[in-house]
Amino acid sequence: MRLYKLISGVSLLLLFTVAVDAQSKKFEKAYNTFNAGEYFEAIPLFKDAYDGTTDKNEKTRIIYTIAECYRKTNQPSKAALWYSKAIKKNYSDPLIYLHYADMLKMLGDYEEAKIQYQAYKELLPGDSRADDGILSCDQSMEWLEFPNGYTVEEASFFNSRSDDFNPAFAREDYRVIYFTSAREETTGKNEHGVSGQGFTDIFETTLDRKGKWSTPVPLSEEINTEYDDGTPVLTRDYKTMYFSRCAVHDNKSTGCEILTSIRKNDEWQKAKSLEIAEDSVLITHPAISADELTLYFVSDMPGSMAGADGVPSKDIWKVSRSSLSDDFGKPENLGDAINTVDDEAFPYIHVDGTLYFSSNGHVGMGGYDIYKAVKDESGNWTIENMRYPINSSSDDFGICFEAEREAGFLSSSRTGRSDDIYAFLLPPLRFSITGVVKNEKTDDPLVEASVKSIGSDGTTLETLTDDNGSFKFMLKPGTDYIFLAKKEGFLQGKERETTKSVESSTDFTSVIYLPPIDEPITVENIFFNFASAELRPESIVSLDKLVETLNDNPNITIELSSHTDARGNDDFNMTLSQNRAQSVVDYLISKDIKADRLVAKGYGESQPKTVDLRDHESYPFLPEGQLLTEDYINTITDEDLQEVAHFLNRRTEFKVLTTDYNQ
């Protein structure tokens, strides 16, 4: 990621205490180059120094430092290789396992990364970065398996062989894009010792009427210089631009600052520096709020979070003002809800006020991930990882959005070549339901049954089932639905579905069963205590469904019948079944079902059950159509199977008596 190019040499770097061979300047030059932050140039120097020494400890230290150079120049594959070499040489600092795990995670090797995080945890159990790393690996594998619905495609028309990143919309129709690039056409022709690439400029490309982006061209010399210029952001009227510049003198960075320029007659005026902090302090990556009263930026100024190595981390800060004519006030750190002991960068403020930023300190997929932050009325931030495919195992950063839809551009190193620009889009959510209406007794589909869709948004649609008993409706996001089905000769039935909180397009399925009016319907899962008419608590769910059926069919009256098995005294069974039927009726009355719609009838053991299709499918040893008489049950030799037959006879049923009830 090109963050390091815009901040190279500004922060205080970790210094190594090195025993320098008095007879050789190779070590001194290599370590001095490393300590100056010129990691790209340091790599060949260390390799040369490695060949010039026979000291095993020094060789191991050099191997580790080469790995560090590759890590700091964002080359995870090479860094992982050299960390593994240092581990084989028994390099003593436990931090090597953490860095090695981080590189493996950036390569997408989450299983091996977890092993290395665990190794680090065993050496330093108090460091939360080990647990965070293990959690990030587990979450990343889950996110890869269940993407969040965005589409992400490389915007090849922007990209070059060098780094191209941090796109920004430069016109209200989104047909002009500014972005940062290190391509050959930049003003500055020197190379960074940090990365080996050239200095960056801000480039512009325009979308023509045929949908083709123009060849990118650099902005004028009022904006671009021989130094690093980049990370542009424009105000909502596209008349003011803020951007970063990192100057270098005598091959040393003298700091990064934020500048602003006004557009007049379609030309950018000479840029002026915003005096946010003193010279030589890192001030970069501007983001402006829609009302232009708050400017967010990245800095490691005093007050930033302290990194694990004691060096201040890069934090997101803000400055505010009361009106557009006022100067910005004093910098304010966004706090530890946003900032971590590692680095945060590339803030972006959506027109709706949502903060997006990149971080390698929050739990993520690897490298820098893009996060979404929303502040509530109490001022508390809620942070959300944008997940895959917005994020990847590599660096992902520098995002921008269209105002009206979830679409825009972002930067990523996911190809492994360089930082490139990608287009993203969250397609509109599409929901539908395909269902079938069936006879509850026979499981046969019901043709030309009427099905009505009733949405919580007030919409009502109606259709008839086809020759297969099927129906289909398109559904809206964020809506609860009830589907009512009815057909002459059957009780009305219904099912529910919701698209609320569903984050991806979904095709729902449903089956609506309609009980036939001319046959008894078993009420499943009605339980009584042994030899008692007292309803057990687990019966309530089924009874409440029966209440719902009666409310959905207000014109029917029913007989509620109870049956026992053939065991026990006939008179006792008859009385018990009558009492049980009455218990059910009493419950229905307690739920406001009118008493004159209900008749309680106990049949004892006088009406054994006839096995229907569902019974046969559940208990294949029972033939469909078989009457479960006591004589038949006694022919079943297995006692457990006999008990199943008795269980089916012990049932509660209802049948429709009339269909013209009118209160």
- Residue 255 near residue 32, CB atoms below 8 Å: no
Distance in angstroms (rounded) separating the CA atoms of residues 490 and 512: 12
Check if CATH label 2.60.120.10 holds for domain 151-425.
no
The continuous run of DSSP H or E covering 246 comes out as strand 240-249
- Residue 549 near residue 491, CB atoms below 8 Å: yes
Intervals of CATH 2.60.40.1120 along the chain: 431-514
Intervals of CATH 3.30.1330.60 along the chain: 521-658
Intervals of CATH 1.25.40.10 along the chain: 3-145
Region 11-32: mean pLDDT is 56
Assign 20 a pLDDT band (cuts: 50, 70, 90): very low
Instruction: Please name which of 76, 43, 165, 592 lies closest in space to residue 360, comparing C-alpha atoms.
Output: 76
Whole-number pLDDT of residue 195? 67
Q: Which tokens hold the place of 575?
A: 């009385």
Q: Which of 544 and 2 is assigned the larger pLDDT?
A: 544
Region 213-237: mean pLDDT is 95
Whole-number pLDDT of residue 567? 87
- 44 pLDDT higher than 50: yes
Q: What separation, in Å, do the N-terminal and C-terminal C-alpha atoms of the chain show?
A: 75
Intervals of CATH 2.120.10.30 along the chain: 151-425
Whole-number pLDDT of residue 441? 86
Burial class (CB in 10 A: 0-12, 13-18, 19+), 81: middle
- 614 pLDDT higher than 90: no
Q: Is the dihedral of CA 605, 608, 614, 615 positive or negative?
A: positive
Whole-number pLDDT of residue 663? 74
Count CB neighbours of 380 within 10 A. Answer: 10
Q: Which of 297 and 304 is assigned the larger pLDDT?
A: 297
- 19 pLDDT higher than 50: no
User: What percent of the chain lies above the pLDDT cut of 90?
Assistant: 77
Burial class (CB in 10 A: 0-12, 13-18, 19+), 7: buried
Angle of CA points 174, 179, 183, to nearest 5°: 140
Distance in angstroms (rounded) separating the CA atoms of residues 538 and 546: 14
Segment among 55-59, 143-147, 278-282, 335-339 with least mean pLDDT: 278-282
Lateral strand order in the sheet of 470-475: 470-475, 431-439, 506-514
Whole-number pLDDT of residue 253? 62
Burial class (CB in 10 A: 0-12, 13-18, 19+), 562: buried
Count CB neighbours of 274 within 10 A. Answer: 18
Angle of CA points 381, 478, 547, to nearest 5°: 120
Region 20-44: mean pLDDT is 80
CATH architecture of 521-658: 2-Layer Sandwich (3.30)
Instruction: Please name which of 631, 659, 75, 663 lies closest in space to residue 649, comparing C-alpha atoms.
Output: 631
User: What percent of the chain lies above the pLDDT cut of 70?
Assistant: 94
* pLDDT tens-digit readout, 269-293: 999 999 887 766 789 999 999 999 9
Q: In which residue are the tokens 């698209």 written? A: 499
* pLDDT tens-digit readout, 383-439: 999 999 999 999 999 999 999 999 999 999 998 878 999 999 999 899 999 999 999
Q: Which tokens hold the place of 495?
A: 């099912």
Question: Dihedral, CA atoms, 581, 582, 583, 586, nearest 10 degrees?
Answer: 130
Q: Which tokens hold the place of 106?
A: 């950036």
| pTM of the shown model | 0.73
Region 334-356: mean pLDDT is 95
Taking all residues of the chain, what is their mean pLDDT, rounded to a whole number?
A: 91
* pLDDT tens-digit readout, 534-591: 998 989 999 999 999 999 999 999 999 999 998 889 999 999 999 999 999 999 999 9
Whole-number pLDDT of residue 270? 95
Question: Dihedral, CA atoms, 224, 225, 230, 235, nearest 10 degrees?
Answer: -40
Distance in angstroms (rounded) separating the CA atoms of residues 232 and 43: 32
DSSP category for residue 537: G
Whole-number pLDDT of residue 13? 34
Distance in angstroms (rounded) separating the CA atoms of residues 513 and 449: 11
Whole-number pLDDT of residue 277? 79
- 16 pLDDT higher than 60: no
CATH T-level assignment (fold) for domain 3-145: 1.25.40
Backbone angles phi, psi at 274, to 5 degrees: -90, 120
* pLDDT tens-digit readout, 46-68: 999 888 888 899 999 999 999 99
Q: Which tokens hold the place of 184?
A: 């050959």
* pLDDT tens-digit readout, 100-121: 999 999 999 999 999 999 999 9
* pLDDT tens-digit readout, 299-320: 999 988 876 666 788 999 999 9
Whole-number pLDDT of residue 7? 45
Q: Which tokens hold the place of 583?
A: 């218990």
Assign 340 a pLDDT band (cuts: 50, 70, 90): very high
Assign 11 a pLDDT band (cuts: 50, 70, 90): very low
Query: Which stretches of 418-569 are DSSP H helices?
Result: 540-552
- What amino acid is encoded at 613 in this protein? L
CATH T-level assignment (fold) for domain 431-514: Immunoglobulin-like (2.60.40)
- Residue 50 near residue 81, CB atoms below 8 Å: no
Segment among 1-15, 182-196, 476-490, 616-630 with least mean pLDDT: 1-15
* pLDDT tens-digit readout, 443-470: 999 999 999 999 999 999 999 999 999 9
Region 592-612: mean pLDDT is 94
The continuous run of DSSP H or E covering 85 comes out as helix 76-88
Angle of CA points 311, 317, 320, to nearest 5°: 155
